[in-house]
Amino acid sequence: MSLDINPTAWALLAAGLLAPLLYLGTVVAGAAIRPGYSHVANAISELVEARAPHRIPLNVAFFAYNALSIAFGLGITVIGANSTVVLAGWLLAATGGLGVLMSWFPMDPVGTRATAPGIGHLVIAGLMSVGTIAAIIAFAIGSASVEGWSGFSTYSYVTAGLVAATGAVAATTAARRGATMGFWERLTIGAFLQWHLVLAIRLITA
């Protein structure tokens, strides 16, 4: 069984190439214009938390990232590999949809009283974490039976393990308000983004 990368699928898959780069650029730029912000200590969501400076333009950039991720997921659903690969695509698209929804649920500033939007932010973030890992594992399972993709399947399993392990440390550190929470969060998201980027490159060059 092989992948069918038709022109429509290729255009959608190309969005997966742009999404991680946009996310990275948004985080770097947002941190640069936020006095006292630390990539090691601060959560990425703090860049767009309630009442954060420059929240609106940064939210627009993250919205665009998630829209591109949705397109990428939809591209995977139409490449005609097998039902498990299609499931991975839908999971990626759904995760991007949750990211879009999060634009209306900003994080509560650290140390402030919990609000309904802030609680919603935590719930959505948890669902996104589960969806991300599930998508990677689904693609790992589905791609194992596609000719020439067994190595990528193994790579996907390793990535899923890395995302899960660093995510657990990030969550524990955040709960304890540890000084390295931002570092662990970036390892988690970085592991997913590099997989996202590599997968996009692999697909559009297939």
Contacts of residue 10, Cβ cutoff 8 Å, sequence gap at least 6: 75, 204
Summarised one tens digit per residue, pLDDT across range 2-18 is 567 788 889 999 999 99
Per-residue pLDDT tens digits for 47-87: 999 889 899 999 999 999 999 999 999 999 998 779 999 99
Taking residues 167-171, what's their average pLDDT? 96
Residue 69 falls inside a structural domain? yes
Q: Which of 81, 195, 72 is nearest to 143 (CA)?
A: 81
d(CA 196, CA 206): 15
pLDDT, tens digit (0-9, with 9 covering 90-100), for 130-141: 999 999 999 999
Number of compact structural domains in the chain: 1
Angle between helix 83-101 and 55-77 (nearest 10): 170
Using the structure block, give the residue that is written with the tokens 């879009």: 100
Tell me what pLDDT residue 1 has.
45
What pLDDT digit, counting tens, does each position of 94-125 carry?
Answer: 999 999 999 999 999 988 899 999 999 999 99
What pLDDT score does 2 carry?
57
Q: Cα–Cα distance between 130 and 53 in angstroms, integer?
A: 30
Domain that holds residue 109: 7-204
Residue 2 falls within a domain, yes or no?
Answer: no
For the chain, state the CA radius of gyration.
17
Asked if the structure places residue 14 within a domain, the reply is: yes
